[in-house]
Copies of this chain bind each other. A is one copy, B any other.
Amino acid sequence: MGSEGRAAPAPWRSGTSPEKDRMERIETHLSYGGRQEVWKHLSTTLGCEMRLGVYLPPQAPQRPRECPVLYWLSGLTCTEQNFITKADAQRTAARLGCIIVAPDTSPRGATVPNDEAYDLGQGASFYLNATEPPWATHFQMYDYIVKELPMLVEAQFESASTRLRSIFGHSMGGHGALMIALKNPDRYASVSAFSPILAPSRVPWGIKAFTAYLGEDRSTWAQWDSSELLAQATAKLPLRIDQGLNDEFLASQLQTENFSAVCERANYPLNLNLHPGYDHSYYFIASFMEEHIEFHHRAWLR
């Protein structure tokens, strides 16, 4: 796992140092009896400063290494702030005693490449390891999410379980969560997504991003495409998807129906929930957040 499309090591990847791995807390708020915090650190994988939201439930101080960690990946244009201010995940995380980690959606900063479009560059990493210039140097989000981020979280927060991790996300982050879980069924107990991009190789958002980050040779794309990965999956994780049927991107970008057929052919159990009237917004996400966290909670109790 995880070495796919890896660029030549950049200078800052020459090793870890205590200085570079140090996390600094920049926000802390009491929330439903727990703490919603924002931390920053210099990422050795990405070569830039990164921010992340961390919710620590009220139970955390009493449960060393016993709080499952649920990773949230946000969609296009988001930072670490959208989820922590809009999804009301803290309420259910407080009740069920889990940590939620919500990283930024890409490397950031003046020295990091960008594009004027909202769907490429900063805020639009697609959670893969880029191989093409100018992106390959910094856009190694897959390695960041799968390796560096859990390492940092589990080192910094004593309550964090090193055994129970799950992952979920929205839209581009739904693609990221599914792709990452399907590539690492040993590292995650369960996966879920709101309005995910399910076949990035075949929709405009994904084709644009994959062409830029991975190049024109589409044979390298399949390893980052959930539909392709699922068709070949051997280990099966609890997998839930919620999709609003009034989502403005459903037909053009998300292709939920095709994915459902892929799961059926692969005999991969899919907990698919279609919701008439709901759109692509955080109003949809908040409405079903409790059910998603409960879904992961059930997987942790197995």
Contacts and interface: CB of A to CB of B under 8 A. Distances in A.
Contacts of A282: 85
Contacts of A246: 30
Nearest to A32: B287
B85 A278 contact: no
Contacts of A29: 278-279, 281, 283-284
A273 B278 CA distance: 36
A33 B275 CA distance: 10
Contact of A33 (B33, B286, B287): B287
B85 A88 contact: no
A138 B10 CA distance: 58
Contact of A30 (B36, B91, B244): B244
A31 B85 contact: no
Interface in A250-302: 275, 277-279, 281-284, 286-287
A88 B31 CA distance: 13
A86 interface: yes
Contacts of A283: 29-31, 36, 90
B88 A278 contact: no
Nearest to A28: B279
Contacts of A284: 29-31
Contacts of A277: 30
A75 to B, nearest CB: 15
Interface string A75-109: 00000000001101011000000000000000000
A26 to B, nearest CB: 14
A103 to B, nearest CB: 19
Contacts of A275: 30
A58 to B, nearest CB: 11
A285 to B, nearest CB: 10
Given A85-B86, A88-B88, A31 B244 contact: no
Nearest to A286: B88
B31 A287 contact: yes
A246 B91 CA distance: 20
Interface string A9-43: 00000000000000000000111110010000000
A20 to B, nearest CB: 30
Given A30-B277, A30-B279, A32-B287, 14 more contacts: A29-B279, A29-B284, A30-B246, A30-B283, A30-B287, A31-B283, A31-B286, A32-B286, A33-B287, A85-B85, A85-B86, A90-B286, A90-B287, A91-B286
7 contacts: A29-B283, A29-B284, A30-B246, A31-B283, A31-B286, A32-B287, A88-B91
Interface of A: 29-33, 36, 85-86, 88, 90-91, 244, 246, 275, 277-279, 281-284, 286-287
